[in-house]
């Protein structure tokens, strides 16, 4: 499932990337361009814009109601019945794909020392170079997510 989020849904876009979903987000994008990209790349539109969804011939969209980004995430997962995730596969910052780093000494100077010492598996964004590791998922988020998925 691939998404494109409108300008009001930056935090939601980051959570979706966090869970491994290919999610485009541009802080400034016209409705026309958003719809065009969605069509060209077969992406599901996530929007808060009631005006946008009234456009003719628009399908594959979800109008997001909540203000809170966790509630928004819940709405997406619930409505689309998504229960499988692939964390540590997408860059939260740029949506690039992550690759596992085979030799962890490569990241020695790129992460805090305690992280280097305590984690074994690291990933790098193929596009922006950002480094990730297992523990870079905030525990709070994991707990929230478990809560969300329990509410079925």
Residue ranges in contact with Zn ion by CB under 5 A: 91, 93-94, 96, 125, 127-128, 130
Q: Which is nearer to Zn ion, 30 or 99 (CB)?
A: 99
Q: E-strand spans in the chain?
A: 3-5, 23-25, 44-47, 61-63, 98-100, 122-125, 131-133
d(CA 116, CA 138): 17
Min separation Cβ 94 and Zn ion, Å = 3
Shortest CB 146 distance to Zn ion, Å: 26
Q: Cβ(73)–Cβ(15) under 8 Å?
A: yes
> How far is the C-alpha of 11 from the C-alpha of 133, rounded, in Å?
21
Least distance between Zn ion and beta carbon 70 (Å): 23
- Closer CB to Zn ion, 74 or 123, in the complex: 123
Report the chain's terminal Cα–Cα distance, integer Å: 20
Least Cβ distance, residue 35 to Zn ion (angstroms) = 25
Residue 2 or 55: the one with the smaller Cβ distance to Zn ion is 2
With H, G, I as helix, E, B as strand and everything else as coil, classify residue 52.
Answer: helix
Considering beta carbons, is residue 10 or 32 the nearer one to Zn ion?
Answer: 10
């Amino acid at each position: 499932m691939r998404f494109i989020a409108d300008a009001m849904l930056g935090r939601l876009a980051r959570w979706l990337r966090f869970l491994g979903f290919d999610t485009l987000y541009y802080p400034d994008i016209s409705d026309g361009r958003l719809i065009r990209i969605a069509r060209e790349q077969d992406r599901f539109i996530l929007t808060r814009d009631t005006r946008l969804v009234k456009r003719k011939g628009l399908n594959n969209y979800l109008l997001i109601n909540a203000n809170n980004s966790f509630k928004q995430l819940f709405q997406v997962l619930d409505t689309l019945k998504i229960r499988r995730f692939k964390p540590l596969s997408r860059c939260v910052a740029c949506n690039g794909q992550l690759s596992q780093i085979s030799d962890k000494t490569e990241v020695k100077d790129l992460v805090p020392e305690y992280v280097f010492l305590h984690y074994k598996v690291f990933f790098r964004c193929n596009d922006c170079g950002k480094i990730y590791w297992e523990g870079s998922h905030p525990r709070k988020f994991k707990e929230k997510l478990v809560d969300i998925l329990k509410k079925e």
